[in-house]
A = this chain, B = another copy of it.
Amino acid sequence: MSRIAYVNGQYLPHSRAGVSIDDRALYFGDGVYEVCEVREGRLIDEPRHLARLRNSLAAVRIAPPVVEPALKRILREVVERNRVRDGIVYLQISRGVARRDHGFPQIPVKASLTVTARSIDRAKGEANAERGVKVITRPDERWAHPRIKTLQLLPNVLAKQAAREAGAYEAWLVGADGLITEGASTNAWIVTEQGVLTTRTADEAILHGVTRATLLDVAAALGLSVELRAFSREEALAAREAFFSSASTIAMPVVTIDGLPIGDGRPGPVTLALRRRFHEMAART
């Protein structure tokens, strides 16, 4: 079965789906996106993803190309047409198509909308979570607003590639102040030596992860001690547990950082409890 993509009103074979060379996403990375988990055919945490999308669009002043009920229908249609039971649905909105000029198009144009979906092997994710994965640290070289989920992702690409070349799964980014901001495509967490679940406050320097928010709900339900503050690489290395979160990885245990073991070098119990309870909570939000 060939994949189907939605592009500006049309459902097309993915391999033939394209956008104009004048799309501002291509020229400037002038757009925003969302990635939503699909599990057993359902969109996980959809209201939070749509709320964040509204925030991203407002932050960069792009008018939504379709109303939210229509967008929800398109997301479902793409998931169904691709027969995705477990996987992700991806949506991207750019400022639209216009002759190349840094300023916004002087004659207003409609924003471009692309939606794709694909299956992900859940067993592979579970196997990673059982073993735990490796992380490296890298300088955070991104622009001033990682909070906004934009296409300004080249620094993330370079960090992720550095991780892969080091045999790691993810790169955690370290700010000029020595504190970890987040991963190249995930939020960063530790369980401190004192047993406190710790993740950075949702400030301008990190993406306000949807999975992060729902994991905080899980932590509250579990009665865990939680602190929202930034931590350094050194503190992470001394932690009992470390993990990262995203829509496609949920809570993923980290067993080494820069080659040094975290805790006993195996996935930690807090991480695994959060991971186990995640979908139960997500079903309620």
Using known A-B contacts A103-B164, A141-B144, A143-B152, determine if residue A157 contacts B28 with beta carbons closer than 8 Å: yes
**Interface pair B29/A154, CB less than 8 Å apart:** yes
**Could you tell me which A residues sit within 8 Å of B by CB distance?**
5, 7, 14-15, 17-30, 60-61, 90, 92, 94, 99-100, 102-104, 114, 116, 118, 139, 141-145, 150-158, 160-161, 163-164, 184-185
Using known A-B contacts A30-B157, A145-B141, A154-B29, determine if residue A184 contacts B7 with beta carbons closer than 8 Å: no
Min CB distance A169 to B, Å, is: 10
Contacts of A139 in B (CB 8 A): 144
Q: Which residue of B lies closest to A115 (CB)?
A: B21
Copies of this protein in the complex: 2
- How far apart sit A100 and B89, CA to CA, in the bound complex (Å)? 12
Q: Which residue of B lies closest to A32 (CB)?
A: B154
**Interface pair A160/B21, CB less than 8 Å apart:** no
Contacts of A92 in B (CB 8 A): 26-27
12 other contacts beyond A26-B151, A141-B143, with CB at 8 A cut-off?
A5-B21, A18-B18, A25-B25, A26-B92, A26-B94, A27-B92, A28-B157, A90-B100, A104-B157, A104-B164, A142-B143, A144-B155
Partner of A7, one of B15, B21, B145, B161: B21
Interface centre among A7, A60, A99, A100 (most CB of B within 10 A): A100
Contacts of A102 in B (CB 8 A): 153, 156-157, 160-161, 184-185
Can you report 30 residue pairs joining A to B where beta carbons are below 8 Å apart?
A15-B20, A17-B20, A17-B21, A19-B21, A19-B26, A26-B114, A26-B151, A27-B151, A28-B153, A28-B154, A28-B156, A29-B29, A29-B154, A30-B154, A61-B161, A90-B100, A100-B116, A102-B153, A102-B161, A102-B185, A103-B157, A103-B160, A103-B164, A141-B143, A141-B145, A142-B144, A143-B143, A143-B155, A150-B154, A151-B154
Contacts of A142 in B (CB 8 A): 143-144
Min CB distance A29 to B, Å, is: 3
- How far apart sit A54 and B107, CA to CA, in the bound complex (Å)? 35
- How far apart sit A139 and B144, CA to CA, in the bound complex (Å)? 10
